[in-house]
């Protein structure tokens, strides 16, 4: 009896731990993207990036980049353990090209339906970097 309760609790806490893990499904950037660096990191770029982030991205990623408590697939930009493994080129790739057909993360680059310039996408990436905790 006690043993059953013990194992029940073990499994329960294990599933809680699992539920707390983010479930990001982000494709890796191809080499030509991974090597890119961000040339738009001035104070002015950050202000513009913030404006467009709040307009286009905050609904899913959260006003402060905290992610979505109800949807663990949304990358939380406050998640330093994750974000510190991401190169600028990787972040730009996903923002510009989207995360694939199965993802809610759409493409925002110049060739996409959203049609933002590369500069604008980089400015949003600059702002996202300021949200890391």
Residues that bind ligand HEC (CB under 6 A): 24-26, 56-57, 59-61, 73-75, 86, 90-91, 94-95, 99, 103-105, 108, 124
The answer to whether 126 touches 50, Cβ cutoff 8 Å, is: no
Closest CB 45 distance from ligand HEC, rounded Å: 14
Closest CB 98 distance from ligand HEC, rounded Å: 9
Residue with smaller CB distance to ligand HEC, 13 or 25: 25
The answer to whether 68 touches 60, Cβ cutoff 8 Å, is: yes
Closest CB 91 distance from ligand HEC, rounded Å: 4
The answer to whether 118 touches 110, Cβ cutoff 8 Å, is: yes
Q: What is the Cα–Cα distance from 62 to 17, expressed in whole angstroms? A: 22
Q: What is the Cα–Cα distance from 96 to 83, expressed in whole angstroms? A: 17
Residue with smaller CB distance to ligand HEC, 2 or 69: 69
């Amino acid at each position: 009896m006690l043993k059953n309760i013990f194992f029940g609790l073990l499994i329960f806490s294990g599933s809680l731990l699992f539920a707390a893990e983010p479930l990001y499904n982000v494709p890796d950037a191809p080499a030509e993207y991974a090597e890119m660096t961000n040339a738009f990191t001035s104070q002015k770029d950050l202000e513009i990036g913030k404006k467009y982030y709040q307009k286009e991205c905050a609904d899913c990623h959260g006003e402060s980049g905290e992610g979505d408590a109800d949807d663990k697939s949304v990358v939380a930009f406050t998640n330093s353990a994750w974000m510190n493994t991401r190169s600028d080129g990787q972040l730009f790739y996903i923002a510009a090209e989207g995360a694939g057909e199965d993802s809610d993360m759409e493409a925002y680059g110049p060739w996409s339906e959203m049609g933002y310039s590369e500069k604008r996408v980089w400015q949003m990436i600059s702002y996202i970097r300021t949200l890391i905790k």
